[in-house]
Amino acid sequence: MKEEKYFSELDRKIKNLPKPKIVPAICCWSDLLGFGGKFTENNWILGERQWSEVINRLVNVQTILARFLQPGYEYSLVLNDGIVRSYLMDNGIDHIQMLSLWLRSCVFFHNEVLESERKNKLPGLRTIIAAGDRAIHNWDDIKFSDYVYNYSKVHPSGLSSFERSGNNPTIMINPSPLQMNTAFSKAFILDEAGSKSGVGGASFYLDESFLKLLMYLSQEVDHCEGYIWDEYNDKVVFAIPIKGYGHLYHLGFELELPEINIDLNALKTKVYKVVSFFPHDEDPKEFKIEIF
């Protein structure tokens, strides 16, 4: 078979699209509250001091985020005043406790940002976790070097001068972990709905899509034996016990009741406000991480 010729790396990418793949998705979306107020109050023209305040707030949150990321298990993207954290599930879940560790890091991040924001008399952030699917369907990025014609290189299949120099900026980004990610879409819609729909304040919320995924995993993943749904007073404990050690949890949440019913044109669902989180390495009767 005659080898196909490509006139650029962009031509190669366009003619060799990856085979589409649908995989489960979990997304944690955190949004700084009151962020746009400074801009709208000043008709989007800020002075030096105001820009400094905006930048300091962003850098502080992003620095906290960097300390709590779980390399190898998530992909994170900063979008102005919002932060997307996508848990990687391309090949399923190798162990439920890795998901538990990621959830704990989301809780720690949320709490530490809130503590820092309150010290600086700032509104804090709202965090929402949802589940869904994502369609991996295209390349992750386009580089400047992709536009270089192969015939202009010393060797057509070799590196261009841009690649060799290390100065090869990204022109377009379409990261696989966020390609057509419906978990992110749901979390974003719920955040946008805000207090008018009952999802208000600097709080931590779980969409029912995420709880349903956890319920499914509790029946399918090794070392699990179902889940607990224990309602009492105005709260419910949802947890996945460790197989053979029912008094210990892989992970668990204490959720506020009643749940919040969401009825939007874009999404109909139920959302739960998180009161506390039970990590995998503590006795739930003695310890839980409260959400500020």
The residue extents of the domains of the chain are 24-140+176-290
Task: List the chain pLDDT tens, one digit each, 292 residues.
Answer: 456 788 898 999 999 999 999 999 999 999 999 999 989 999 999 999 999 999 999 999 999 999 999 999 999 999 999 999 999 988 777 789 999 999 999 999 999 999 999 999 999 999 999 999 999 999 999 998 888 887 777 676 666 676 677 788 899 999 999 999 999 999 999 999 999 999 999 999 999 999 999 999 999 888 888 999 999 999 999 999 999 887 899 999 999 999 999 999 999 999 999 999 999 999 999 999 999 8
pTM above 0.75, yes or no: yes
Q: At what angle do helices 48-68 and 96-119 cross, to 10 degrees?
A: 150
The β-bridge partners of 28 are 85, 129
SS3 127: strand
Between CA 99 and CA 76 the distance in angstroms is 15
Burial grade of 107 (CB within 10 A; 0-12, 13-18, 19 or more): buried
DSSP letter assigned to residue 91: T
CB atoms within 10 A of CB 170: 11
Which class in CATH covers the domain with range 24-140+176-290? alpha beta
Alpha helices in 121-173 (DSSP H): 161-165
Q: Are 96 and 107 in contact (CB under 8 A)?
A: no
